[in-house]
Amino acid sequence: MLEVRDLSTKYVTRYKEDVYAVDRVSLKIEEGKTLGIAGESGCGKSTLALSLMGYYFPPLHYISGEIIIDGQNITGMKPDEVRKSILGKEIAYIPQAAMNALNPTRKVIDFIGDVIRAHDPTWTKQMIYDHARALFERLGLPAEVLQKYPVELSGGMKQRTVIAVAVTLTPKVLIADEPSSALDVTSQKMVIKMLRDMMESGFIKAMIFITHELPLLYNVADDIMVMYAGQIVERGTAKQTVFDPLHPYSKGLMGSILVPESGLRSAKLTAIPGAPPNLKNPPPGCRFADRCKYVKPECRVTSVPLYEVGHGRAYRCILPEEELRRAYEHGE
Amino acid sequence: MVNKGNPCLSGRGVTKIFGFGRHKTIAVDHVDFDFHEGEIVSIVGESGSGKTTLAKMLLGLISVTEGEIYFQGKKRDLSSGRKKQEYWRNIQAIFQDPFSSYNIFHKIDSVLLDCIRMRGGGNLPREKKVEMMTEACSFVNLKFAELTNKYPFELSGGQMQRLMIARIFLLKPKILVADEPTSMIDACSRATILDYLMKLRNETGMTLIFITHDIGLAYYVSDTIYIMEHGRFVESGSADDVILYPKHPYTRRLISDVPKIYEEWDLSTV
Amino acid sequence: MQHTLRQVFRSGKFIVGFSILMTILLIVIIYPWVVRHPPLQIIGQGTFFPPGIYVNVYDAIHAPTLYTLNLEDAAANRIGNKLRQEDRVAMKEWLVAFGVPEDEIDIDDTEKLLALWEANYNPDLRLPGMTFARHRYFQRVNASIDGLLSTEPAIIAAPNSETGALEQKALIRQTDYANVDEVANVRILALGTDNFGRDVLTQLVAATAVSLVIGLVAGLIATTIGLTLGLLAGYIGGLVDDVLMFFTNLFTVIPTFVLLILISFSIGQDKRGAITIAMVIGFTSWVWTARAVRSQVLSLRNRDHVNLSKLSGHSVPRIILVDILPYIASYVVMAFILQVSSGILAEAGLSILGLGPRTTETPTLGLMMNWAMIYQAHILGKWWAYLPVLVTIALVSFSMNLMNTGLDQVFNPALRD
Ligand SMILES: Nc1ncnc2c1ncn2[C@@H]1O[C@H](COP(=O)(O)OP(=O)(O)OP(=O)(O)O)[C@@H](O)[C@H]1O
Ligand SMILES: Nc1ncnc2c1ncn2[C@@H]1O[C@H](COP(=O)(O)OP(=O)(O)O)[C@@H](O)[C@H]1O
Ligand code: SF4
Ligand SMILES: [Mg+2]
Ligand SMILES: [Mg+2]
């Protein structure tokens, strides 16, 4: 459905500094699959999501790479064209904290109207209303919500409405950036169920789900990609990444999982010390070196490539698989 | 359950009602509790269940509509500013949103200097103060030299929350109320924050009252858990009892709503 | 702080508004230094002299040197000045009615026309069917063209102080010119005079200054009261809040302007100085500032940094001053600017109704409007008496509102594009 090859993008700040927020990222999602992206704050998850749509406007700038959506190569398309023919139709994006950014003076139906009119200004009010009603019915949301203002909706309902607005034009790929992080568990579950239903009924063909909550990601995604400092450091199925992490960073992330299950109280919560490197001038070698328990002098010399280990699995570390596994065994 | 100390904070029939008439909201509805010295307590509930309201009543930031709060066995008395100040030497808080916990017009130093002043160190020489601040910062793995003269918005959310812990480190209160201290920061920094909070508790032996909607976190850190629904405590008990053998349907639902990794997450029950 | 200021001065709207206001201020300050006439002195005998340069005829004649300039179009201009096209048409009309064959009359040939007129016109003859007014009009035209074609010099004569007989002093030829610079008395009345014969421009500048002061005083009073009460009501709540809300509700039922009118009226004409009016305006318009500040404080009060400040044992005044005030400072500045501009407008409104400051001492923009209205300048088409005043009021309040929008965009990132 969606394929990205060696995509790099950067932010140019107000002081004309470059921030390399996405660095040579490749990924591929097949129809019916959900790709999860994990990583701590500031590692470039949201930036990757924005970059994937091929829609660049300052301060975000394209550097290199290719984006192919459903067989169509959109690399180098003009932003205007992308907005008209790709956004919302081929690929839709739910920005982080979108539900808190809704204009409080407008009704839900107006947001849907905006999306439709941006692509086809000829739609009448009645057509928009009929479409919105059908859409809400399809997604299992009450139609009364259409006539409400954002403040009248609870957090969970607001987020589900935002998703409905995003999929108004039935996109093939949906990118959801932290759609449930601000919600409590019950609302979160409803949001996830709605997304899951949309995938299962084929309403959307593929999904990218971004979050730093690993247990959630494990339950939602088929494959998980772990990002660190703008790079992919590990890729594999959800099970592999959670239960058998290879990269020391992924391993560290797994140590921060808190679920109310019997083993939890005896397990030791491990925090990764330190902070991610500054992306203005990332270190030449492994970007995780400053925080890595297993760092070797040669880690800091040249950049570490992403090693493929078969079955779509890959990780970015100079240590061999077995050695890493053995180290983790001992650490525990 | 660990052997409990004396109750240091108790409540009987504590109630908070906002507004009157048609606009009346009962945020906290006749709750009873006993928090013991050195205990780690969690109050768990979904958003709007009244956790923050209860926390603010415990802290004496808002009045109690009905019921009584007992501090160290005696009825709490906050009738004058002096008594309030005395009370606040014993109970302190960390709030949910690190971004709104700081006065953005003040440099970071002023937050820490305030604490020193509150502990009666207002007249210490500057070097001594810097030493204390440096110690507090290094406790949460921050470098005071890098922070001094900075404004709060120049820090990340995780750093701000760590600085809040440094503040508590300086104040060394008997009770700390932490209202969702990790819900606005990512999972990775969350572990760090929890680490420092636990370390601080182990050093000072203070009572820690966690307010959270994250049931996993509550289970991980606490001795005792109170489950709150619509302003009432529906279940309470030792962490293992409440989480592993929940009795109240609400507790069961909360637990089943959390995505897990060893058990199936049942999406059909929403 | 510096950063905010820099941001403010990067906002286009703010800069435009600020420049307009500063220009007005500069004019208001510099003008009285250059033109030192008292603004309310009555100089014109008569009402509404049109804008222009007034040259003293006596002094022009007595200019030290008279220069001879032979200008070709001088005669034509002179005739054109007195005999306008419509007069020519009217003359033809009279002549035709009198019986002169129409094709003999060429109204563009001044000489022929005048000759025909001279030959036929009889001022005492009232043609049948002609109104009396029309009859008088022709008499006036006749008088004005008397001697129009003459090339003789004019004689300046003065009575001999002893005999009392007229003596010729000088001859003024048609080619004589005086240099305006050498004429002793020239007065520029760029905006003419008003109904009392006072110089409109000088008065306008003085009025703008007074109005700005009124606005400033009203704004200061309203903002100070509003801010103080809003802070107290919002933060402390309780009785202060109840009282404030009572007033607020009262003011929403009785429009402020009506109250303003009532108070102004009851003070009485004699006691109403400009500052009194400013104070009355200030005391009646603090309510909305108070209400807005209160609601801002209500939401700030629940911010965690305020809670932390309480937990750190800070006193209420300190929390208000240090933890709340800075957050609403930008908002208060904006409210102040609006208060100043609405104070100016309120004064204008009051004065138009005749309830402004006492009329004899200081001019204000509103009073100028009031006079212009009373003397029907707008009906008589004497635009210079009211239009510049309107434009000034509009410019002042426009510039302030522009500054406000600019500030809003800086302080309220959601409005930035
Ligand atoms: N508008 C911007 N201008 C300059 N740099 C930016 C901008 N937005 C983000 N960045 C930088 O790009 C990097 C990646 O940011 P991004 O928002 O993609 O992180 P994220 O993984 O989505 O984090 P979070 O979990 O907090 O949402 C960070 O270093 C951030 O500081
Ligand atoms: N200052 C207030 N005024 C009116 N209602 C309030 C106020 N604070 C909280 N509430 C109401 O009280 C209830 C509990 O809120 P809160 O204690 O913040 O819940 P939680 O912290 O569990 O999310 C909610 O219904 C909320 O709307
Ligand atoms: S390359 Fe070296 S520093 Fe980087 S993760 Fe592997 S062991 Fe750690
Ligand atoms: Mg993000
Ligand atoms: Mg809360």
Question: Contact A219/B265, CB-based, under 8 Å?
Answer: yes
Chains interfacing with A (3 or more CB pairs < 8 Å): B
* CATH code, domain with A206: 3.40.50.300
- CA distance, residue B18 to nearest chain A CA (Å): 19
Whole-number Å distance between alpha carbons of C400 and C20: 9
DSSP code, position C26: H
Residues of B in contact with C310 (CB under 8 A): 61, 88
Contact B49, B230 (CB under 8 A): yes
**How many angstroms does the Cα of residue A316 sit away from the middle of ligand 3?**
8
Whole-number Å distance between alpha carbons of A94 and A208: 10
- C369-405: per-residue pLDDT in tens? 988 988 898 888 899 999 999 999 999 999 999 998 8
Q: Tell me what percent of the residues of chain C surpass a pLDDT of 90.
A: 33
Whole-number Å distance between alpha carbons of B157 and B235: 33
- A28-49: per-residue pLDDT in tens? 898 989 999 998 888 888 899 9
Question: Contact A185/B215, CB-based, under 8 Å?
Answer: yes
Which ligand number lies closest to the CA of residue C237? 2
User: For residue B86, what are the CA distances in angstroms to A88, B60, B67, B71, C70?
Assistant: 58, 12, 22, 12, 101
Q: Domain end: C161, C189, C217, which one?
A: C189
| Residue B26 lies inside a defined structural domain of this protein | no
- CA distance, residue B116 to nearest chain C CA (Å): 10
| Residue B15 lies inside a defined structural domain of this protein | no
| Residue B4 lies inside a defined structural domain of this protein | no
B257 touching chain A per CB within 8 A:
yes
- A142-169: per-residue pLDDT in tens? 888 898 888 888 888 889 999 999 999 8
- Into how many domains does chain A fold? 1
| Residue A121 lies inside a defined structural domain of this protein | no
Same domain, C228 and C277: yes
A189 touching chain B per CB within 8 A:
yes
Same domain, C231 and C182: no
| Residue B23 lies inside a defined structural domain of this protein | no
Same domain, C222 and C309: yes
**How many angstroms does the Cα of residue A274 sit away from the middle of ligand 5?**
29
| Residue C73 lies inside a defined structural domain of this protein | no
**How many angstroms does the Cα of residue A200 sit away from the middle of ligand 5?**
35
Residues of C in contact with B177 (CB under 8 A): none
Whole-number Å distance between alpha carbons of A157 and A136: 12
Q: Domain end: C144, C161, C176, which one?
A: C144
- Evaluate: CB of A43 within 6 angstroms of ligand 1: yes
- Evaluate: CB of A59 within 6 angstroms of ligand 1: yes
Run means of pLDDT, 10 residues per run, chain B, 270 residues? 74 91 88 92 90 93 92 89 90 89 87 88 88 90 83 82 90 92 81 87 91 89 93 93 92 89 76
pLDDT mean over C3-25: 88
Whole-number Å distance between alpha carbons of C142 and C134: 12
Residues of A in contact with B240 (CB under 8 A): 265
Pocket around ligand 3: residues whose beta carbon is below 6 Å from it? A 248, 286, 288-289, 292, 294-296, 299, 304, 317-319
Residue spans of alpha helices (H) in chain B: 51-59, 81-90, 108-116, 126-139, 144-147, 157-171, 187-204, 215-221, 239-244, 249-257
* CATH code, domain with B223: 3.40.50.300
**How many angstroms does the Cα of residue B49 sit away from the middle of ligand 2?**
8
User: For residue B173, what are the CA distances in angstroms to A78, B71, B93, B204?
Assistant: 59, 13, 9, 9
Structural domain boundaries enclosing A183: 2-105+149-330
**How many angstroms does the Cα of residue A111 sit away from the middle of ligand 1?**
26
Ligand 3: atom nearest CA of A233 is 5
CA C108 to the chain's CA centroid: 42
- Triad A34, A37, A39: Cα angle to 5°: 160
The two structure tokens encoding residue A313: 């699995």
Determine which residue's CA is closest to atom 16 belonging to ligand 2.
B50
A259 touching chain B per CB within 8 A:
yes
Same domain, C203 and C239: yes
Nearest 10 degrees: Cα torsion C218, C222, C223, C228: 150
Count CA atoms within 13 Å of residue A327 on its CB side: 16
- What is the reported pLDDT for B270? 66
Across the interface, which of B56, B95, B118 has its CB nearest the CB of C312? Answer: B118
Whole-number Å distance between alpha carbons of A87 and A119: 9
Whole-number Å distance between alpha carbons of B25 and B230: 10
Asked if residue A123 has pLDDT above 90, the reply is: no
Helix axes C325-352, C200-236, angle to 10 degrees: 140
Asked if residue C20 has pLDDT above 90, the reply is: yes
Q: Tell me what percent of the residues of chain C surpass a pLDDT of 70.
A: 98
pLDDT mean over C174-196: 91
Neighbours of C322 (CB within 10 A): 15
Question: Contact A258/B244, CB-based, under 8 Å?
Answer: no
Average pLDDT, chain A: 87
| Residue A14 lies inside a defined structural domain of this protein | yes
pLDDT mean over C296-324: 89
- What is the reported pLDDT for A119? 82
Question: Residue C131 — left, alpha, or beta (φ > 0 → left; ψ -120 to 50 → alpha)?
Answer: beta
**How many angstroms does the Cα of residue A192 sit away from the middle of ligand 4?**
18
Neighbours of A289 (CB within 10 A): 19
- Evaluate: CB of B227 within 6 angstroms of ligand 2: no
User: What 3-state DSSP class applies to A304?
Assistant: coil
Contact C335, C296 (CB under 8 A): no
**How many angstroms does the Cα of residue B52 sit away from the middle of ligand 2?**
7
Neighbours of A330 (CB within 10 A): 7
Contact B195, A272 (CB under 8 A): no
Count CA atoms within 13 Å of residue A222 on its CB side: 15
| Residue B12 lies inside a defined structural domain of this protein | no
Same domain, C237 and C334: yes
The two structure tokens encoding residue A252: 């560290």
- What is the reported pLDDT for C416? 47
**CA-nearest residue of chain C to B82?**
C313
- A198-250: per-residue pLDDT in tens? 999 888 999 999 998 888 999 999 999 999 999 999 999 999 999 889 999 99
Contact C365, C372 (CB under 8 A): no
Question: Contact C311/B93, CB-based, under 8 Å?
Answer: yes
Encoded amino acid at A128, one letter = I
Question: Contact A185/B156, CB-based, under 8 Å?
Answer: no
Same domain, C8 and C94: no
Whole-number Å distance between alpha carbons of A20 and A64: 12
Q: Predicted ipTM? A: 0.88
- What is the reported pLDDT for B42? 94
Structural domain boundaries enclosing C185: 57-67+152-189
DSSP code, position A151: G
The two structure tokens encoding residue A12: 């140019």
Across the interface, which of A40, A189, A265 has its CB nearest the CB of B270? Answer: A189
- Triad C57, C59, C60: Cα angle to 5°: 60
| Residue A238 lies inside a defined structural domain of this protein | yes
- Into how many domains does chain C fold? 3
Same domain, C139 and C211: no
**CA-nearest residue of chain B to C313?**
B85
Question: Residue C127 — left, alpha, or beta (φ > 0 → left; ψ -120 to 50 → alpha)?
Answer: beta
| Residue C166 lies inside a defined structural domain of this protein | yes
B37 touching chain C per CB within 8 A:
no
Question: Residue B259 — left, alpha, or beta (φ > 0 → left; ψ -120 to 50 → alpha)?
Answer: beta
Across the interface, which of B191, B218, B254 has its CB nearest the CB of A269? Answer: B191
**Neighbouring residues of B180: CB distance < 8 A, sequence distance ≥ 6:** B51, B52, B95, B96, B211, B212, B213
B214 touching chain A per CB within 8 A:
yes
Contact B18, B27 (CB under 8 A): yes
Question: Contact B190/A259, CB-based, under 8 Å?
Answer: no
DSSP code, position B260: -
Same domain, C376 and C329: yes
Kind plus residue range of the DSSP H or E element containing B13: strand B7-18
| Residue C50 lies inside a defined structural domain of this protein | no
Question: Contact A213/B156, CB-based, under 8 Å?
Answer: no
Instruction: Dihedral sign for Cα B238, B242, B245, B248, please.
Output: positive
Residue of A231, A290, A294, A315 best suited for mutating to test ligand 3, as the one with most atoms within 8 Å of CB: A294
Length of chain A equals 332
- Triad A42, A43, A46: Cα angle to 5°: 75
C270 touching chain B per CB within 8 A:
no
| Residue B232 lies inside a defined structural domain of this protein | yes
DSSP code, position A299: G
Across the interface, which of C310, C323, C327 has its CB nearest the CB of B61? Answer: C310
| Residue C51 lies inside a defined structural domain of this protein | no
Backbone φ, ψ for residue C320 (5° rounding):
-60, -45
Question: Contact B254/A185, CB-based, under 8 Å?
Answer: yes
Residue among A257, A292, A286 nearest A274 (CA): A292
**How many angstroms does the Cα of residue A9 sit away from the middle of ligand 3?**
24
Whole-number Å distance between alpha carbons of C65 and C46: 32
- Into how many domains does chain B fold? 1
Q: Which residues 116-175 of B have a C-beta within 8 angstroms of C?
A: 118
Residues of B in contact with A189 (CB under 8 A): 257, 259, 267, 270
- What is the reported pLDDT for C217? 95
| Residue C48 lies inside a defined structural domain of this protein | no
Same domain, C251 and C334: yes
Whole-number Å distance between alpha carbons of A157 and A162: 9
Same domain, C97 and C179: no
Same domain, C212 and C105: no
| Residue that is written with structure tokens 């509805």 in the block | B29
Whole-number Å distance between alpha carbons of A207 and A174: 5
| Residue A279 lies inside a defined structural domain of this protein | yes
Residue among A229, A234, A243, A225 nearest A308 (CA): A234
Contact C365, C347 (CB under 8 A): yes
**Neighbouring residues of B25: CB distance < 8 A, sequence distance ≥ 6:** B17, B18, B19
